Amino acid sequence: MNFIKEFKIMKKALLILTIAILTSCAGAYKQASYVSNQSYIGMTIQEFKSVAGKKASLEAMESGYTVYRINDYDAWTGARIDTKFYYFDSNGKLVKIDGGEFKQKRYQIEFINN
């Protein structure tokens, strides 16, 4: 009888431990996508920080703009799988969200020999 009681207790403890491990490993995985879904153009830096929490790191602060970065990590390997940049203007309003692609303007120059 004592063995059955101990087995039930051990079974419950193992179940709780398994649930805790499985939920904690993937707990931070959706953080970057959650921040992207909650962000909108025109939001203030304070609103952004309240949504992003400690996941947002200050990437650049120069006259005229501020940039924050959020990295997204794989739940199992811990490898960085995505990066989002959040650009704020000098008034502290969100103006752009991207993956860090810098698209340069293309100019076509035509040389005319006279």
Res 113: pLDDT: 84
Classify residue 89: in a domain, yes or no.
Answer: yes
What's the whole-number average pLDDT of the chain? 82
Provide the domain limits for residue 94. 29-98
The answer to whether position 3 is within a domain reads no
66 assigned to some structural domain: yes
Residue 110 lies in a domain: no
Phi–psi pair at 81, nearest 5 degrees: -115, -15
pLDDT digits (tens, 9 = 90+) for 19-61: 766 666 555 445 677 888 889 999 999 999 999 988 899 998 9
Domain count, the chain: 1
CB 100 within 8 A of CB 85: yes
101: nearest Cα among 78, 88, 89, 84 = 84
Query: For position 56, which CATH number holds?
Result: 3.30.1450.10
pTM: 0.62
Q: How far apart are CA 15 and CA 30, in angstroms?
A: 24
Is 61 inside any structural domain? yes
Give 66 or 20, the one with higher predicted confidence: 66
pLDDT of 1 > 80? The answer is no
